[in-house]
Structure 1
Amino acid sequence: MLETVNHIILVLSGKGGVGKSTVSTQLALTLVEKGYKVGLLDVDLCGPSIPYLLQLEGNDVHQSDSGWVPVYTDEKQNLAVMSIGFLLNNRNNAVVWRGPKKTSMVKQFLTDVCWGKLDYLIIDTPPGTSDEHITVMENLKNIKCDGAIIVTTPQQVSIEDVRKEITFCKKTGIPILGLVENMSGFVCPSCTECTNIFSKGGGEALAQLSNITLLGSLPIDPRVGGLLGKACVKEIPDSPSAKVFNEIANAITVV
């Protein structure tokens, strides 16, 4: 199913709550705005937020002779989405599964979804370095994976956990395309001034220490948080976030 996908990008982090799903969603939307056909696979089985972020909740996944048909965001089918969120009867239902069942579901997502011809497949992963990540890598070992984008926040506790994710990538042979520092300051919705309410520069320091590329620093911007299903590069093109997502997209499309 993945042989018709030209490029596969993983979005990883060792820490939860750093905004991987938002980064994955806005990156996918940015690539669509640049004219690419994109797939977005959500393998965060216990916390599937991609359907909500793209305003696709309530859609059903259909079975065809070739496999599962993903949910499309528009009639042109430029963005295809697959998530366990589409398989739950209620968004409040908890996925209470042991490792083997989670592994089986991730494998099915990677082998049984009819993506068709895609320029890019973005895979949004859960935090950590456990079952889901290992399953993804085992199923991609015979398919060319361009690499991973690591997401962190500036705080020291996040940096320590994300450092483990970088080690995981190096041990499993995943090329690291670069690191994104998310929540790097807060953009006031009234005056657009950026204030460092947490801290700043932790991601940049980690990138230098690990000898990887810093792809950009994304501030907390309420305007971006309200753009459910819409690309910030189109809706607020002059925002700091739009600039960074354009830079990230440009960086990975050179790969």
Structure 2
Amino acid sequence: MVEAGVPPGGAVPENANEHCPGPESESAGRADGCAGCPNQEICASQVAGPDPDLPLVAERLRNVRHRLLILSGKGGVGKSTFTSQLAFALASDEDTEVGVVDIDICGPSLPLIMGCADEEMHRSSNGWSPVYVRDNLSLVSIGFMLPSDEAAVIWRGPKKNGMIKQFLKDVDWAGSADGGRIDYLLVDTPPGTSDEHLSIVQLLKGTITGAVIVTTPQEVALQDVRKEIDFCRKAGVPILGVVENMSGFVCPSCHGESRIFYPTSGGARALCDELGLPLLGSIPLDPRIGRACDAGSSFLDTCADSPAAQAYADIIVQLRRLVEGQE
């Protein structure tokens, strides 16, 4: 359930009065229809009208073709791993420009996973320059700004939201091989449905191509994924499909597979059938995935023989078909 009074993208909360003027209205919290509304005080305290920085974000991202959110309801399901491998796979086509924005402000793992943890983001008169992993693959993350790998980010919501806004409106993608064109902008999010999610949906209002939701097979993960799906539907974010990660264990020697996280309620397939969503695929566990992430390399390049690599490849083919079919 989205927090009352803080609707994503300016949507009217479910518990608002019948004649709610909307949280972006100049009369929000002050109109006659606001009297007695449980959100009145919160709406009245917010800055009236749309965010003045939205045009700046739109201008900065005007050459981005596809914007994908990578979401998960629960932490530890391999969402950042999936984001990195998706980015590497898309960038394997030298004609495809890929940008990645890491908005997991308190747990930025992508610099390590993508092999560029020792790099820094530099600022110029045109804004921040992303860190280039390859000529056609770049990354923005607060991980590049921390004084050490052990430094904690201890921020409240408004400061985190301000950093996300800076990532979108102040990053200069024009240094890319194609002069600023980005074919795929992947946004790696933290678990849950909180400040960061509300911010990214509002800042990319109406321009998100779709979301990919990552889960593991057990019910404790699927329970949180249902909340993530509910968030997307209330926020108006199209869901491209669900990826079931860690669906089994693949022995690197014999390629035999066994279940580690048992799907007691049917796993992601049953969830997708229940909620009418596409299951993009299931990725088995392979110890070499973890080693590739620690080394900052592409698992699909180094372990192309793995059933997990084939699962990744099949999912990416489906995603490209879905995304490019929307053009």
User: Structure 1 length as normaliser, TM-score?
Assistant: 0.95
Q: Which residue of 2 aligns with 1:65?
A: 125
> RMSD of aligned C-alpha atoms?
1.2
Number of the residue aligned with 1:175 = 238
Give the CA deviation at 1:245: 1.8
Segments of 5+ residues of structure 1 without an aligned counterpart are none
Q: Aligned partners of 2:127, 2:71: CA distance in 1, in Å?
A: 27
User: Paired residue for 1:51, among 97, 106, 111?
Assistant: 111
Runs ≥4 in structure 1, deviation > 4 angstroms? none
Contact 1:232/1:241, CA 8 A, preserved across alignment: no
- 1-side partners of 2:196 and 2:224: how far apart? 17
Pick which of 5-14 and 241-250 moved more. 241-250
2:151 alignment partner AA: N
Deviation at 1:127, TM superposition (A): 0.5
Q: Give the total of aligned pairs.
A: 252
Which amino acid is the alignment partner of residue 155 of structure 2?
Answer: W
Equivalent-residue separation in structure 2 for 1:232 and 1:57 (angstroms): 18
Q: 2:214 aligns with which of 134, 146, 151?
A: 151
Q: Post-superposition shift, 1:232? A: 2.4
Q: SS where residue 261 of structure 2 aligns?
A: coil
Q: Which has the higher contact order (CA 8 A, sep 6+)?
A: 1
The one-letter code of the counterpart of 1:233 is L
Residue pair 2:115, 2:297 contacting (<8 A) in 1 also:
no
1:240 to 300, 304, 307: 307
What amino acid maps onto 1:176 in structure 2? Answer: I
| Correspondence for 2:146 among 66, 73, 88 | 88
Percent of counterpart pairs with the same letter? 52
Contact 1:7 1:119 in 2 (8 A): yes
Q: Matches of residues 92-131 of structure 1 in structure 2 within 5 Å?
A: 92-115=150-173, 116-131=180-195
Structure 2: 5+ residue runs without aligned partners? 1-59, 174-179
**Structure 1 CA distance, aligned partners of 2:318 and 2:205?**
23
Show the counterpart of 1:211.
276
Q: Could you tell me whether the CA contact under 8 Å between 2:113 and 2:297 is conserved in 1?
A: no
1:18-72 per-residue CA deviation (whole Å, 9 max, x = no partner) reads 1100000000001011332101111001110001101211211000211110000
| Structure 2 counterpart SS, 1:253 | helix
Q: Is the 8 A contact 1:179 1:207 kept in 2?
A: yes
The match for 1:33 is 92
User: Contact 1:33/1:234 (CA < 8 Å) preserved in 2?
Assistant: no
Structure 1 residues 68-110: Cα deviation after superposition (integer angstroms, max 9, x where no partner):
1000013xx2110011100001110110001110110111111
Match of 1:139 in 2: 203
> 1:39 touches 1:122 (CA, 8 Å); kept in 2?
yes
Q: Give 3-state SS (helix, strand or coil) of 1:226's partner.
A: helix
Residue 2, structure 1, aligned to residue 61, structure 2: yes
Would the aligned equivalents of 1:6 and 1:118 in 2 still touch at CA under 8 Å? yes
Alpha-carbon distance in 1 for matches of 2:278, 2:307: 19
Cα distance in 1, alignment partners of residues 255 and 62 from structure 2: 44
**Does the CA-based 8 Å contact 1:39-1:118 persist in structure 2?**
yes
CA distance in 2, matches of 1:215, 1:38: 21
Separation of aligned partners in 2, 1:15 and 1:117: 33
Q: TM-score, normalised by structure 2?
A: 0.75
* Structure with greater Cα Rg: 2
Shift in Å, 1:4 = 1.1
Aligned residue number for residue 24 of structure 1: 83
Q: Distance in 1 between matches of 2:118 and 2:190?
A: 22
**Secondary structure at the residue paired with 1:60?**
coil
Secondary structure of 1:73's counterpart equals strand
